[in-house]
Amino acid sequence: MAGSTGGGSSSNPSPAPPPPKILLAKPSSGPLPGKFARGAGEDENVPHRSRLPPVGSLNLLSDSWDFHIDRFLPFLTENTDFTVVGIIGPPGVGKSTIMNEIYGFDGTSPGMLPPFAIQSEEIRVSARHCTVGIEPRISAERFILLDTQPVFSPSVLAEIMRPDGSSMIPVLSGESLSAELAHELMGIQLGVLLSSICHILLVVSEGVHDNNMWRLLLTVDLLKHSIPDPSSPMLSHPQSSSLGPEKESRDKLHVGAEYMATPIFVHTKLHDQHLIPHNVVHLRKALAHYFSSSSFMREKHRNIAKCITDDNVDPTLLSSFIPLKNRDDSPKAQYESYISTLWKLRDQVLSMACPSFSRTLSEREWLKNSAKIWEL
């Protein structure tokens, strides 16, 4: 499979157990038991409510911004042929819709809920967001999909802010921070994690240029260099759980080739003028120039950097351009439809030859080591 960590089936000589049942729909929300209960009669829209996902959620991040694996681990196997796809972007740009498409969800099937909840009109007008933390799913093709909470999100900021302006979430080892700073750091942490543990990272923006997302990616690139990939042997060392002196630990973990997920820049809600071939080429050139000195354009992306200045470059090589959804209804539409561009993006991700981790590891090892990377 393209983008896999290599290898085939598990080396265990005994017959492989059947893979866990794949969870399609997001579990329904229910009352939170124990210490997370807020009272039976409390309005769910009360400010400063707990951010903890409902019981049954597979979320990888807890209410205290800690990484936990217990809920998702049973869905993973000792299979070593898998691909991890993460996504990051601001609110309302279609991240969950894109992930549902990559998963292969058929919205025409009666009674089936999408694996990733999408923003309803009610949620949109109330300025809220669907995804909290990191919601994982795994497809039949063993694609591990990571949908994340939005960055640059006013609703996330409002949710973590105390009346005095401080953050409810201890983003940095319990250190007290302002909500604004904690909110910014949360986006950076998500970006660094995804670029470390994913094979493919979808960077989604609305419209043509999104300087905030581009700056975020450069910050991620700057901070990523001290973080290993999840196959690093040092993460499996017994002493790795005791990180010791920070610099010494990071230096040891940094041994080996630098790893960076392959990015695909996805631009959504585009108008016809944005899809004119000349403008598409211009945008790709701007991206290549902006990230020319980053790890995203190093040797393993040399072909992208070379071809991106060619007017005949394949439009799916580095970027994907998705028009407004309602443009499909126009009989005068000149360019590809919303549906066809989503299909093209899915085909690109499923067939993409992206770099492997430094060594072969299983799905379960990947998750356990991802938790250790989060600690860094």
Residues 6+ apart with CB under 8 A from 325: 269, 338
Q: Are 196 and 67 in contact (CB under 8 A)?
A: no
SS3 (DSSP) at 178: strand
Q: Are 208 and 270 in contact (CB under 8 A)?
A: yes
Answer whether residue 132 shows pLDDT above 50: yes
Quick one: DSSP state of residue 35? G
Q: What is the pLDDT of residue 17?
A: 54
CA distance 246 to 376: 9
Q: What is the pLDDT of residue 176?
A: 83
Answer whether residue 305 shows pLDDT above 90: no
Fold exhibited by the domain 62-375: Rossmann fold (3.40.50)
Number of Cβ within a 10 Å radius of residue 319: 20
Please state the pTM of the whole predicted model.
0.78
CA–centroid distance for 134 within its chain: 8
Q: pLDDT, tens digit, for every residue of 2-44?
A: 444 444 444 445 555 555 545 554 443 333 333 223 233 334 3
Q: What is the pLDDT of residue 312?
A: 47
Q: pLDDT, tens digit, for every residue of 51-92?
A: 444 444 789 998 888 999 999 999 999 999 999 999 999 998
**DSSP states of 312-340:** T--TTSSEEEEE-GGGGG-TT--S--HHH
Selection from 342, 300, 303 nearest residue 204 by Cα:
342
Selection from 28, 49, 52 nearest residue 39 by Cα:
49
- Ranking 33-47, 127-141, 257-271, 276-290 by mean pLDDT, the lowest is 33-47
Q: What is the pLDDT of residue 22?
A: 54
